[in-house]
């Protein structure tokens, strides 16, 4: 079996700077049964935490496990190993009753605005549900709360009597945000919440999220495949590849001075909206990735098969997540080389 | 297309029933009530014989005539309904009582329960029901109730499987996940969210089963296995009529027709509901407010220009609208040109008309949309004047296309290799061996590893990136001059995207392929294109060489759209510059500049009259009166 | 493909057992019994007991089943308690009737139904109404009634076909055809209507998919898009429905056999039921189940051939 990497001792970039974290993942492992019935490790020993009022960005491509981590935190996917703690309490395998109580403090916004609202219920009824459940409000009181929240997210209160089919994607996401915020949670997981939206709408929704965070002092776990959006929204970033943590650190370090070869590749692959800058970046990308070989999952570092720096040790031993030269934690046997190459 | 709030109208109505369905329900109600109140309604005693009145057709005394014993047919039919309808109730009752809960549980919880139900259902599908029923009838002879109970029990697994499937697809919806996160108990979720979604399909299945049950029950009676004489029943009446068919044709008709009527009514309820429920989940289309099509002469200076000599494809003044009662323009006066080996980017957000524009170029506009003006100049002809036949020859061999969602664009039933050779052979008339060699060549050209093995794969075995390469291979199969790529990398990982864009670049260099790349992502445009047009609300608002459009955008929309990109953000975690308002919906485009409402530079003159697309610099066009005021964008970290 | 085949066969063994045991157990519970039926109601209980003993009907049910199974495996299905004739002989005469009707009905239903479905899918709106109306009527028509009407018109009145009886294929080809023409049409029409509807729905669903547009964009001729690509993807559900249709045909053939006075397996089973002729009923149950098993095997194979995702060879 694989040896698991241990997080470094002492203060690490995986933890928030201040005191006790609000949401904590320790050595989380999640397995998944594919359609071909073969078991597959979606999340492999991932550890990080989120502090109060902080935004942690979780970035990776498809198959990185980022969505699974979010799902596990709210009880939608079972954890095979490790611990998830919310405000100190172990919530890895809680009862439905406890989940109910938790949902007043821990919420989630999904990616697909067309599937996340019940088409057979009015917007008002959908938004009222959390109030009726948690606050024990009467219908009348709840109605007032709903109108206020609709206004807060930039929609007219008359939206409450309509059905989701009447709204555009951006508007539905606002409704989804309203639903998540109805009972003022402490932490909201944004699972690719803006990925399906047009650029101008995306900007509006991101601004809304930032505004709400300031107003209600909410923490976010911001999951996305888009590195620049994640950088814009997050205080710290966790980079994942095929279920493993590659790099964790504060946004500036990870985005502007990536230490891990994968982060560098990810950055180089994200096209820059500027032709000359992009042409230069294309050259860097050529050095950042080897052509993909069909999934060499036997390698201990999952990125080894595409990494330009990979050597034998990468296939035999999982690299530990340790502090790197920029202050971010990196899991790589060849950090120094990668960092040196990047500063060209 | 984005949907404006205003167009939604009244809250979503319940599915309306068609008039036919209402008639059907009335008919059934009449039959059921007649059966219940038979003693009160029937004119005669159903078993009272009157031999002198035998074999009569319809008359004043006997509305439906008499049978061989002179018994009144109408009364017998009314009483006969009791047996049949009761039987249907028994069978259908068990069908639902067993099938529905099992289906709900199996569908919601999945796992072992679902597999068990599935297995039971497979076995029960194959059971010859007739044998089981006969066996039961051997045990309890002449008992319609037993037979119908057995039918209901045997049919229940089919309902369970159907409901299970329906529940599974509802359960996969994210709003169910949201309910779970909220901590609702499964029972609550099923009742509140799942059941309402399956009520309609359930009613369809139940009414269809009721029809089948009625046919079954009357069939049993026809064979003499159920109701025994002198008790009247529809099936046995048909059997009686059959015996005397030569002598009296009429006798067999009333019971037969009543059976048909009843079963048809059950079927109609099923049909009508099936149609009515179709659109609960679809978004409402934008309001069909009529807008008088603006008479726009080909006034844009852009269109007057001659076609560039090295142009592979030129579009001039292309306009398209929706057909139907109130047509609405969706593309207006779009012009552009792409040269061989070049790449033109079309940038815009949803609803700007970019996809419709390229569809028009391919001659693949969906039903309900048509072009109304303009020219599509390709290899010396105007494609808009082509017949469908000619157009289909141009497609593939002249202009090819790739789209979003690569795996979904491949026929799941055929291998990749076959789909390539099919195109090769159709356009080139090569032999099988030659086609196969060309196929391998194409797979190598798009850099798919191990071409031989890849050719044998089916689409569901490919990753998104591989599928898109396969589609590029198919697109290249007939050596087209132009490739239209409509959001080709939107559904792909960013590292895969980079490879695909690189591939397109190489193909342009190696073969002189002209590419038209549609995207909403400025980064992709910056990477792949050498010129770009920006579309907003059906129009081209800016056109320029790639460096020019980024260095100095000349339309507020282009500028705002670029500025909204986090890549340009000055400071993280501060609000991004965002454009207030939303894109005007099709049919509600304002007069004057369509962006004016949202534009920070707008002045009165902008709203007064149509703005034309004018040259503002060398090779740079803008549809804006204030274009000189548009600032530059500085990219912070290049 | 072999995997599919094996799976279906594996499922079929328990099916055969279930059906035959069920038939045995249920009829075995009958208070009456064959002895009473044979000897008539005036028989004394002593005589009944004696006959029961002679026929081995007083043994416990599971023993009786065991004996039957043992013989059945060797191809001996026993003899009719009423006539003494060998069950295999009786069913041997009845099977060709049922098979002619089933195979005929499936062929006619498919040949009419699929083209009708495709045709109406291409003319979405008007085509839909026609097919819906036709399939509703097809659904609602009781086959015994339809058979009577067709028989009346085409035999009694027009005299184009025989009103009753079955002419074996070995005897005369045209005779065989004309004897099964009316019954086959009777049971095939509802099937055709259902297949047309299913095909139409499947085609409409497939024609809305992305790859259809992609196929057109490749310049492939429309007829290839419709018949080679779309139809192939749409047929999966139709084939599954065919399997269920065939099971339903077991009852349907029984009914039309009655109308047209033919002796098929269903008719034999029905009389065996009222006469408590258990060996014959068991034999009929077995034959019917085998027919269904074969039908489902073919359905499974067809589905796997149509849909690569159903093949597990990778």
Domains of chain C plus CATH, in order, are 99-274 (1.10.3720.10)
Q: What is the pLDDT of residues C132-142, one digit of tens each?
A: 888 888 889 99
Express each pLDDT in C94-105 by its tens digit.
999 999 999 999
Does B196 reach chain A within 8 Å, measured CB to CB? yes
| Contacts with B268 from chain C: Cβ below 8 Å | 136
Contact A133 B182 (CB under 8 A): yes
Distance CA C272, CA C270 (A): 5
Domain B21-281 of CATH type 1.10.3720.10: yes
Q: Which pLDDT score, from 0 to 100, does residue B290 have?
A: 34
Minimal-distance CA residue of chain C relative to B410: C211
Per-residue H/E/C for chain A:
CCCCCCCCCCCCCCCCCCCCCCEEEEEEEEEEECCCCCEEEEEEEEEEEECCCCEEEEECCCCCCHHHHHHHHCCCCCCCEEEEEECCEECCCCCHHHHHHHCCCEEEECCCCCCCCCCCCCHHHHHHHHHHHHHCCCHHHHHHHHHHHHHHCCCCHHHHHCCHHHCCHHHHHHHHHHHHHCCCCCEEEEECCCCCCCHHHHHHHHHHHHHHHHHHCCEEEEEECCHHHHHHHCCEEEEEECCEEEEEEEHHHHHHCCCCHHHHHHHHHCCCCCHHHHHHHHHHHHHHCCCCCCCCCCCCCCCHHHCCCCCHHHHHCCCCEEECCCCCEEECCCHHHHHHHHCC
Q: Which of B135, B241, B395 to mutate to test the interface with C (most CBs of C within 10 A)?
A: B135
Q: Which residue of A has its CA nearest to B1?
A: A168
Query: Considering CB atoms only, which of A74, A102, A231 is closest to B572?
Result: A231
pLDDT beyond 50 at B291: no
| B181:A115 CB<8 A | no
Of B284, B449, B566, the CB nearest to A232: B566
Window 405-464 of B: residues touching A by CB (8 A cutoff) are 449, 464
Higher per-residue pLDDT: A20 or C312: A20
Confidence of residue B6 (pLDDT cuts 50, 70, 90): very low
Q: What is the mean pLDDT of residues C32-60?
A: 68
All residues of chain C having their beta carbon less than 8 Å from the beta carbon of residue B125 are: 243-244, 247, 296
Strands A236-241 and A55-59, sheet pairing? parallel
Is the Cβ of A270 closer than 8 Å to some Cβ of chain B? Answer: yes
More confident residue, C4 or B404: B404
User: Which tops the pLDDT comparison, B273 or B264?
Assistant: B264
Q: Chains with ≥3 Cβ pairs under 8 A against B?
A: A, C
CA angle B62, B67, B68 (to 5 degrees): 140
pLDDT at A310: 84
* CB < 8 Å from B in window 79-98 of A: 96-98
Mean predicted confidence (pLDDT) in B460-483: 94
Chain B hits for A101, CB-CB cut-off 8 Å, are: 183
A253-257, C25-29, C206-210: which has the minimum mean pLDDT? C25-29
pLDDT in tens, C221-272: 999 999 999 999 999 889 988 988 998 899 999 999 989 999 999 999 988 8
Minimal-distance CA residue of chain B relative to A295: B463
- Say what percent of chain B tops pLDDT 90: 48
Q: Report the pLDDT value the prediction gives residue B288, as an integer from 0 to 100.
A: 30
- CA–CA distance, C183 with A218 (Å, rounded to integer): 74
CB contact under 8 A, C217 and B395: yes
What residue segments make up the domains of chain B, in order of their start? Answer: 21-281
C-alpha dist (Å) from residue B532 to B578, B631, C60: 22, 19, 88
Is residue B532 within 8 Å of residue B345, measured between CB atoms?
yes
Model pLDDT, residue C314:
41
Report how far residue B589's alpha carbon sits from residue B349's, in angstroms, rounded to the nearest whole number: 15
* Helical (H) or strand (E) element with B139: helix B129-139
pLDDT at C304: 86
**Residue B577 touches partner A, C-beta closer than 8 Å:** yes
Q: What is the model's pLDDT at position C74? A: 76
Chosen from C8, C190, C198, C218 to mutate, greatest number of chain B CBs within 10 A: C218
Q: Which residue of C has its CA nearest to B420?
A: C218
Q: Do A168 and B520 touch (CB under 8 A)?
A: no
C288 interfacial to chain B (CB closer than 8 Å): yes
Mean pLDDT of C285-299: 87
CA atoms of C94 and C78, how far apart (whole Å): 16
A233–B contact, CB cutoff 8 A: yes
- For the segment B579-611, what is each residue's pLDDT rounded down to a tens digit? 888 888 888 888 889 999 899 888 888 888 888
For range A286-298, the mean pLDDT: 66
- Which chain B residues touch A217 with a CB distance below 8 Å? none
Is pTM beyond 0.80? Reply is: yes
- Give me the percent of chain A exceeding a pLDDT of 70: 91
Task: Name the band, by pLDDT with cuts 50, 70 and 90, for residue C32.
Answer: low
CA distance to partner chain B, nearest, from residue C303 (Å): 11
**Average pLDDT, rounded, for chain B:** 85
Contact A232 B502 (CB under 8 A): no
Mutation target vs C (from B215, B265, B429, B456; most C CBs, 10 A cutoff): B215
Please tell me the predicted confidence (pLDDT) of residue A100.
87
β-bridge pairing B531-536 and B343-347:
parallel
Q: What gap in Å lies between CA B590 and CA A235, rounded to an integer?
A: 42
Lowest mean per-residue pLDDT among A87-101, C65-79, C239-253 = C65-79
Which residue in C217, C257, C296 has the most chain B C-beta atoms within 10 A of its own C-beta, making it the best mutation to test that interface? Answer: C217
Residue C33 pLDDT more than 70? no
Most confident of the ranges A181-190, B268-277, B628-637: A181-190
Q: Say if residue C183 is preceded by a cis peptide, omega within 30 of 0.
A: no
C219 contacts B394? CB cut-off 8 A: yes
pLDDT at B147 over 80: yes
Average pLDDT value for chain A: 87
Helix, strand, coil percentages for chain B (3-state, nearest 5): 55, 10, 35
Q: Is the pLDDT of residue B504 over 90?
A: yes
The per-residue pLDDT for range C300-311, each reduced to its tens digit, is 888 888 888 877
Query: Which residues of chain A does B175 touch, with a Cβ-Cβ cutoff of 8 Å?
Result: 115-118, 126
pLDDT band per the 50, 70, 90 thresholds, residue B206: very high
Please, which pLDDT band fits residue C1 given cuts at 50, 70 and 90?
low
Whole-number pLDDT of residue B12 = 37
Closest residue of chain A to B525, computed from CA coordinates: A273
Torsion angles phi and psi, residue B316, rounded to 5: -130, 120
Please tell me which residue, C26 or A212, carries the higher pLDDT value.
Answer: A212
- Which has more confidence, C297 or B636? C297
Arithmetic mean of pLDDT, A51-61: 94
C164 touches chain B (CB under 8 A): no
Residue pLDDT, tens place only, B358-388: 999 999 998 889 999 999 999 988 999 988 8
Show residues of chain A in contact with B498, CB under 8 Å.
268-269, 271, 282, 285
B499, B572, B588: best mutation site toward chain A, by most A Cβ within 10 Å? B572
Confidence grade of residue A238 (pLDDT, cut at 50, 70, 90):
very high
- Mean pLDDT over residues A161-166, rounded? 92
Within 8 A of B560 by CB-CB distance, chain A residues are 200
Residue B443 CB neighbours (<10 A): 22
> What distances in angstroms separate CA A336 from CA A253, A319, A324, B176, one per listed residue?
15, 13, 8, 47
Phi and psi angles of residue B148, each rounded to the nearest 5 degrees, phi first = -70, -35
Question: Quick check: B128 contacting C, CB < 8 Å?
Answer: yes
Name the least confident of B58-67, B162-171, B259-268, B460-469: B58-67
Specify the pLDDT at position A18.
62
Report the pLDDT value the prediction gives residue B430, as an integer from 0 to 100: 87
Reported as a pLDDT band with limits 50, 70 and 90, residue B500 is: very high
- Those of residues 200-229 in A touching chain B at CB distance below 8 A are 200-204, 206-207, 210-211, 225-229
Contact assignment for B222 to C144 by CB distance below 8 Å: yes
Q: How many helices (H) and strands (E) does chain C have?
A: 13, 0
Residue C250, exposed/middle/buried by CB under 10 A (0-12, 13-18, 19+)? Answer: buried
pLDDT per residue as tens digits for the range B46-68: 777 878 777 777 887 778 888 78
Closest C-chain CA to B425: C220
C39 pLDDT tier (thresholds 50, 70, 90): low
Q: Which of C120, A52, A134 minimizes the C-alpha distance to B182?
A: A134
Q: Which of B3, B449, B577 sits opposite A168 (nearest CB)?
A: B3
**Short-list B198, B585, B5, B582, CA closest to A161:** B5
The answer to whether B575 contacts A207, with C-beta atoms less than 8 Å apart, is yes
Predicted pLDDT of residue B622: 93
Taking only the tens place, the pLDDT of each residue in B393-441 is 899 899 999 999 999 999 999 999 999 999 999 988 889 999 999 999 9
pLDDT of residue A2: 38
Q: Which of residues 130-159 of C touch B (CB under 8 A)?
A: 132, 136-137, 139-145, 148-149, 152, 156
Q: If contacts are CB pairs under 8 Å, which of residues 254-273 in chain C contact chain B?
A: 254-255, 258-259, 266, 269-270, 273
Please, is C78 exposed, middle or buried when counting C-beta atoms within 10 Å of its C-beta (0-12, 13-18, 19+)? middle
Q: Which residues of B touch A307 (CB under 8 A)?
A: none
Give me the residues of B, 145-174, that contact A with CB < 8 A. 173-174
Q: Quick one: C13 exposed, middle or buried, by C-beta within 10 A (0-12, 13-18, 19+)?
A: exposed
Assign B129 a pLDDT band (cuts: 50, 70, 90): confident
Q: Closest to B458 (Cβ–Cβ): which among C216, C292, C308?
A: C308
């Amino acid at each position: 079996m694989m040896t698991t990497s241990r997080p470094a001792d002492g203060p690490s970039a995986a933890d928030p700077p201040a005191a006790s974290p609000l949401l904590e993942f320790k050595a989380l492992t999640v397995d998944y049964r594919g359609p071909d019935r073969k078991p597959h490790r979606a999340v492999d020993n991932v550890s990080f935490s989120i502090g109060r009022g902080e935004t942690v960005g979780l970035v990776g491509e498809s198959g990185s496990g980022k969505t699974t981590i979010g799902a596990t935190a709210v009880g939608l996917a079972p954890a095979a190993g490790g611990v998830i703690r919310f405000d100190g309490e172990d919530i890895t395998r809680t009862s439905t009753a406890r989940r109910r109580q938790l949902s007043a403090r821990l919420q989630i916004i999904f990616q697909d605005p067309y599937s996340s609202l019940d088409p057979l219920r009015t917007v008002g009824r959908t938004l009222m549900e959390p109030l009726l459940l948690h606050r024990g409000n009467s219908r009348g009181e709840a109605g007032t709360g709903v109108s206020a929240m609709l206004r807060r997210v930039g929609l007219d209160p008359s939206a409450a009597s309509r059905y989701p089919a009447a709204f555009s994607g951006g508007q539905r996401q606002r409704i989804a945000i309203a639903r998540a915020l109805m009972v003022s949670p402490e932490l909201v997981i944004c699972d690719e919440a803006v990925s399906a939206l047009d650029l101008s709408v995306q900007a509006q929704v991101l601004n809304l999220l930032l505004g709400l965070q300031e107003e209600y002092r909410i923490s976010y776990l911001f999951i996305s495949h888009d590195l620049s959006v994640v950088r814009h929204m997050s205080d710290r970033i966790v980079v994942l590849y095929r279920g493993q943590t590659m790099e964790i650190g504060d946004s500036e370090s990870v985005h502007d001075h990536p230490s891990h070869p994968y982060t560098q590749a990810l950055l180089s692959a994200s096209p820059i909206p500027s032709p000359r800058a992009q042409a230069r970046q294309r050259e860097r990308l050529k050095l950042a990735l080897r052509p993909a070989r069909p999934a060499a999952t036997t390698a201990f570092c999952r990125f080894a098969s595409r990494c330009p720096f990979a050597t034998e040790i990468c296939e035999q031993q999982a690299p530990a997540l340790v502090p790197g030269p920029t202050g971010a934690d990196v899991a790589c046997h060849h950090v120094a080389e990668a960092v040196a190459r990047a500063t060209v | 297309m984005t949907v404006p709030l205003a167009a939604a109208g009244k809250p979503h109505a319940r599915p309306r029933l068609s008039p036919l369905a209402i008639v059907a329900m009335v008919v059934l109600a009449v039959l059921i009530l007649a059966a219940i109140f038979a003693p009160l309604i029937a004119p005669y005693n159903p078993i009272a014989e009157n031999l002198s009145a035998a074999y009569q057709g319809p008359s004043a005394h006997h509305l439906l005539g008499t049978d061989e014993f002179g018994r009144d047919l109408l009364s017998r039919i009314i009483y006969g309904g009791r047996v049949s309808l009761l039987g249907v109730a028994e069978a259908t009752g068990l069908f639902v009582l067993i099938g529905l809960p099992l289906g709900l549980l199996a569908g919601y919880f999945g796992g072992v329960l679902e597999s068990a139900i599935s297995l039971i259902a497979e076995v029960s599908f194959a059971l010859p029901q007739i044998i089981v029923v006969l066996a039961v009838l051997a045990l309890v002879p002449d008992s319609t109730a037993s037979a119908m109970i057995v039918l209901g029990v045997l049919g229940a697994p089919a309902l369970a499987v159907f409901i299970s499937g329906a529940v599974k697809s509802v359960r996969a919806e994210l709003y169910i996940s949201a309910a779970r996160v909220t901590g609702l108990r499964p029972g609550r979720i099923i009742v509140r969210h799942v059941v309402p979604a399956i009520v309609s399909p359930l009613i369809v299945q139940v009414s269809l089963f009721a029809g089948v049950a009625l046919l079954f029950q009357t069939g049993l009676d026809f064979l003499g296995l159920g109701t025994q004489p002198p008790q009247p029943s529809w099936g046995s009446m048909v059997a009686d009529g059959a015996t005397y068919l030569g002598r009296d044709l009429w006798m067999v008709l009333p019971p037969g027709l009543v059976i048909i009527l009843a079963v048809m009514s059950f079927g109609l309820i099923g049909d009508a509901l099936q149609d009515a429920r179709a659109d609960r989940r679809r978004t409402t289309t934008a309001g069909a407010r009529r807008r008088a099509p603006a008479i726009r002469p080909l006034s844009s200076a852009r269109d007057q220009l001659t076609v560039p000599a090295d142009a592979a494809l030129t579009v001039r003044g292309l306009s398209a609208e929706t057909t139907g009662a109130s047509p609405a323009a969706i593309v207006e006066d779009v012009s552009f040109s792409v040269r061989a080996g070049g790449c033109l980017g079309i940038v815009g957000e949803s609803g700007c008309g970019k996809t419709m524009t390229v569809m028009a170029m391919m001659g693949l506009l969906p039903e309900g949309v048509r072009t109304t003006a303009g020219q599509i100049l390709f290899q010396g002809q105007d494609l808009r004047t082509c017949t469908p036949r000619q157009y289909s020859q141009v497609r593939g061999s002249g202009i090819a296309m790739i789209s979003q969602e690569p795996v979904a664009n491949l026929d799941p039933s055929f291998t990749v290799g076959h789909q390539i050779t099919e195109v090769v052979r159709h356009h080139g008339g090569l032999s099988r061996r030659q086609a196969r060699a060309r196929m391998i060549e194409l797979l190598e050209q798009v850099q798919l590893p191990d071409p031989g093995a890849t050719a044998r794969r089916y689409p569901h075995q490919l990753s998104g990136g591989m599928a898109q390469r396969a589609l590029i291979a198919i697109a290249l199969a007939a050596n087209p001059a132009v490739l239209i790529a409509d959001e080709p990398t939107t559904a792909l990982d960013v590292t895969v995207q980079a490879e695909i864009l690189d591939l397109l670049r190489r193909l342009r260099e190696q073969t002189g392929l002209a590419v038209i790349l549609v995207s909403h992502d400025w980064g992709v445009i910056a990477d792949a294109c050498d010129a770009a047009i920006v579309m907003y609300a059906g129009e081209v608002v800016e056109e320029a060489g790639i460096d020019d459009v980024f260095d100095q955008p000349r339309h507020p929309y282009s500028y705002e759209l670029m500025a909204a990109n986090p890549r340009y953000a000055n400071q993280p975690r501060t609000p991004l510059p965002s454009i207030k308002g939303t894109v005007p919906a099709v049919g509600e485009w304002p007069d004057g500049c369509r962006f004016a409402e949202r534009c920070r530079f707008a002045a009165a003159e902008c709203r007064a009259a149509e703005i034309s697309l004018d040259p503002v610099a060398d090779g740079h066009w803008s549809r804006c009166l204030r274009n000189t005021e548009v600032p530059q964008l500085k990219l912070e970290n290049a | 493909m072999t995997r599919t085949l094996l799976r279906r066969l594996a499922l079929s063994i328990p099916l055969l057992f279930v059906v035959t045991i069920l038939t045995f157990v249920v009829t075995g519970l009958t208070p009456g019994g064959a002895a009473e039926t044979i000897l008539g109601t005036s028989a004394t209980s002593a005589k009944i007991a004696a006959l029961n003993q002679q026929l081995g009907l007083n043994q416990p049910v599971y023993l009786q089943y065991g004996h039957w199974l043992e013989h059945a495996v060797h191809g001996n299905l026993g003899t009719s308690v009423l006539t003494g004739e060998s069950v295999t002989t009786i069913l041997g005469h009845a099977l060709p009737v049922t098979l002619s009707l089933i195979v005929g009905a499936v062929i006619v239903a498919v040949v009419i139904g699929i083209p009708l479905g495709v045709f109406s899918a291409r003319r979405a709106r008007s085509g839909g109404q026609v097919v819906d109306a036709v399939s509703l009527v097809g659904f609602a028509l009781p086959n015994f009634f339809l058979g009577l009407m067709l028989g009346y018109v085409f035999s009694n009145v027009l005299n184009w076909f025989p009103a009753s009886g079955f002419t074996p294929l070995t005897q005369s080809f045209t005779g065989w055809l004309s004897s099964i023409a009316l019954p086959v049409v009777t049971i095939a029409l509802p099937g055709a209507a259902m297949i047309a509807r299913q095909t139409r729905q499947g085609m409409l669903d497939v024609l809305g998919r992305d790859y259809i547009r992609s196929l057109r964009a490749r310049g492939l001729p429309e007829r290839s898009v419709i018949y080679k690509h779309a139809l192939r993807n749409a047929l999966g559900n139709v084939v599954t429905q065919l399997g269920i249709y065939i099971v339903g045909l077991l009852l349907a053939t029984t009914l039309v056999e009655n109308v047209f006075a033919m002796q098929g397996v269903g008719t034999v089973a029905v009389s065996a039921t009222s006469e408590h002729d258990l060996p014959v009923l068991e034999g009929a149950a077995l034959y019917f189940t085998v027919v269904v098993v074969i039908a489902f095997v073919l359905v499974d194979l067809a589905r796997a051939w149509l849909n690569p995702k159903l093949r597990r060879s990778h």
